Amino acid sequence: MIRALAGDASPFAVIAATVVFTGVYLSGLVVERRARRAQSLRAAQDSHTGQVWIIALTSRGA
C-alpha cells in the first residue's frame, strides 16, 4: 500500500484495494475458525474454500 501511494496510483484505489484484501483475509480466518469450532475440519478441507481463499489473496487486480 505504501509503495503504491508513493507512486502514481490513486489514493482511493489503493485504500479500496487494501480494504478488499483485508476483508478477504479476515473472512478466511473466520471460516477456518468456525470449522475448527464445529470440529468439522475434515469437511472444511474437503471443500475448495481454502483454495479459493488463497487464490483471492494472491491474484492481482487488473
Query: In this structure, what is the dihedral angle of CA atoms 40, 45, 49, 54, given to the nearest 10 degrees?
Result: 130
| Amino acid in the structure at residue 29 | L
Does the predicted model carry a pTM greater than 0.85?
no
Say how far apart CA 40 and CA 28 lie, in whole Å: 15
Give per-residue pLDDT as tens, 10-58.
888 888 888 988 998 888 888 877 777 766 556 555 567 777 878 888 8
Residue 9 has phi, psi (to 5 degrees) of -75, 150
Residue with cell 508513493: 6
